Amino acid sequence: MFIGIDIGGTTIKYGLVDDQGRVSTKNSVQTSHIKDDLIHQLVTIIDNYKDEEIDGVGISAPGIIQKNGLMTTAGSIHSLYGTNLKMVLEEKVNLPISIINDANAVAIAEKWIGNAKDFENYLCVVLGTGIGGGIVIDGKLFSGAHGMAGEFGWMLIDRLPKEDIEKVSYNQRAAVVGGLCHQYNLKKHLENLEAEDVDVYDAFEIMNRAKNGEKVAQSVLEQFYTDLSVGLMNLMCNFDPEAILIGGGISENEEFSNQLKQRLEELLSKHESFHRLKNIIQIPIIPTKLQNDAGMIGAVYTLKQFL
């Protein structure tokens, strides 16, 4: 039996994961962004399972994570930057620890018991506040020379502005919160500079407003699907995957999936080289299966491979 822990910027999810990837006794706590407090939270979670026969602890976390457990970055949890979390925890709990980037955990969990079981070469794009990614080649995660591979959200997809060029990154144009919701709120403020409390951070609220005829919502959604599709096309020609899995809560929405596939097909048909190969090379866009448990499951799978 293993302990699976998924560290998020807001919540730490955890539970027991067996050899078949089944999760039980799940729970969660609010994430502390103070380093010592966060480490104490993790040690407490692990100690709470001391009556179980635990073989190790698999942890998924945001950021660029080295194979030795050094956290080069940690998303919004700035206090963990530069911390070797694996080493710190192993000294405190005397159990094998494995730490993996959260999007990579989703990708490899899908290979184990999810929608990528039949693929050896595929990509996983996780849509949330930003965009995370996982690259699986020959059935194994590819993390790059510095643990940075799969940071799809950093890609630039538009003409560069003179100032901060990250404004046209995949994160700020095609993520859910940092992209769709951010762009919607910008346009709503421009529409009425004196408007108050117009900020919306729910993709489905924007989709509903578009259905009800709101022009700003319709315009932003149209651009969102276009930007997301452009990024997927770039990934297709760079990696030639068997499939691209889309994760994050929005991926469960049928309307989102249908609209994305429709826009992607439209753009592929307008790209001469892609269009020429449409009957020869097909790369399906598939939602992930495991959703909220994927981080825990993927982290444990990685630990199992190490052990």
Q: Which two tokens stand for residue 246?
A: 């889309």
Q: Averaged over 237-253, what is the pLDDT?
A: 94
- Considering the domain architecture, whether residues 154 and 276 belong to the same structural domain is answered as yes
pTM of the model: 0.91
Q: How far apart are CA 38 and CA 243, in angstroms?
A: 37
Identify whether residues 234 and 260 lie together within a single domain. yes
Q: Are residues 273 and 257 in the same domain?
A: yes
**Residue 244: pLDDT band with limits 50, 70, 90:** very high
- Model pLDDT for residues 95-112, shown as the tens digit of each residue: 999 999 999 999 999 999
Q: State which residues form the domain around 275.
A: 118-287
Are residues 181 and 76 both part of a single domain?
A: no
Answer yes or no: are the C-beta atoms of 116 and 110 closer than 8 Å.
yes
| Tens digit of each residue's pLDDT (9 = 90 or more) over 154-172 | 999 988 988 899 999 999 9
The pLDDT confidence band at residue 196, using thresholds 50, 70 and 90, is low
> What was the pLDDT predicted at 192?
74
Question: Quick count: other Cβ atoms within 10 Å of Cβ 207?
Answer: 20
- pLDDT of 261 reads 95
Location of structure tokens 């020379």: 145
Whether the Cβ atoms of residue 235 and residue 123 lie closer than 8 Å to each other: yes
Q: How confident is the model at residue 91 (pLDDT cuts 50, 70, 90)?
A: very high
User: CA neighbours within 13 Å on the CB side: how many for 216?
Assistant: 17
- Judgement on whether residues 270 and 133 belong to the same structural domain of the protein: yes
201 in a structural domain: yes
pLDDT band of 55, cuts 50, 70, 90: very high
β-sheet bridge partners, residue 122 = 136, 243
Check whether 258 has a pLDDT greater than 80.
Answer: yes
Say whether both 256 and 130 belong to one domain. yes
